[in-house]
């Protein structure tokens, strides 16, 4: 059963989204269309595990997204956040996700239902929890308005990272492992040592 949260719960995040332009993510063309970017702590090919470059670009979104997570999915062990605007996902499975994900839509829109294993779900203000790596899912066309959504999830970390640190560290535990930045260094340039 999905719990519907009042609109005011999403207002701070909506305000944070409105301050920035979320670009199209060029590496996601095979899974859908729209503006979509990741943030939080994630593994990056050939760079190791650390903060997303978007953490520096959109600090207000990161702060408000993490606050929202404490309300709508306080028990979810996520490390990464996908922010989307009018993103219509084609049927796919997120093969690199580990464990459960939570997705929720907000703003004023119609259409854009999540379809998971052939069943439509209205996710506007109603978080939906599922295993995105095991569940075929997509998004119906948006009929009117602008559909904002956010996904909280945990990517699969590289084997050498898991061997050293395990596979269940929380966002805060991972953040504490990130070395301090040097002056002028971007968050995305600092990685957790393996």
**Burial per residue of 106-142, b for 16 or more beta-carbon CB atoms within 10 angstroms, e otherwise:** bbebeebbbebeeeebebbbbbbbbbbbeeebbbeeb
Structural domain for 118, as ranges: 7-177
Distance from CA of residue 88 to its chain's centroid?
Answer: 15
Any domain includes 25: yes
Instruction: Give whole-number Cα distances, 56 to 59, 60, 61, 78, 188, in Å.
Output: 6, 9, 10, 19, 8
pLDDT, residue 22, reads: 87
Q: Up-side HSE of residue 12: CA atoms within 13 Å toward CB?
A: 13
How many percent of the chain have pLDDT more than 70? Answer: 97
Closest CA to 80 of 189, 162, 170: 170
Any domain includes 18: yes
Any domain includes 97: yes
pLDDT, residue 92, reads: 92
- CATH code for position 86: 2.60.120.590
Count of structural domains, the chain: 1
Any domain includes 154: yes
Any domain includes 190: no
Q: Which residues pair with 37 in a beta bridge?
A: 83
Span 7-62, pLDDT tens digits: 999 999 999 999 988 887 765 556 777 788 999 999 987 778 999 999 999 999 99
Mean predicted confidence (pLDDT) in 136-144: 96
Any domain includes 91: yes
Any domain includes 185: no
Any domain includes 186: no
């Amino acid at each position: 059963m999905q719990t519907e949260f009042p609109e005011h719960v999403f207002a701070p995040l909506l305000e944070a989204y409105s301050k920035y332009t979320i670009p199209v993510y060029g590496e996601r063309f095979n899974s859908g269309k729209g503006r979509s970017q990741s943030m939080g702590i994630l593994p990056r090919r050939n760079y190791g595990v650390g903060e997303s470059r978007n953490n520096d670009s959109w600090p207000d979104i990161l702060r408000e997204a993490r606050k929202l997570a404490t309300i709508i999915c306080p028990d979810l062990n996520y490390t990464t956040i996908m922010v989307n605007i009018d993103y219509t996902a084609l049927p796919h499975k997120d093969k690199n996700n580990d464990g459960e994900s939570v997705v929720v839509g907000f703003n004023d829109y119609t259409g854009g239902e999540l379809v998971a294993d052939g069943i439509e779900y209205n996710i506007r203000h109603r978080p939906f929890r599922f295993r995105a790596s095991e569940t075929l899912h997509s998004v119906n066309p948006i009929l009117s308005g602008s559909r904002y959504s956010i996904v909280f999830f945990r990517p699969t970390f590289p084997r050498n990272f898991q061997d050293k640190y395990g596979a269940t560290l929380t966002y805060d535990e991972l953040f504490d492992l990130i070395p301090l930045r040097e002056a002028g260094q971007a968050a995305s340039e600092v990685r957790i040592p393996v």
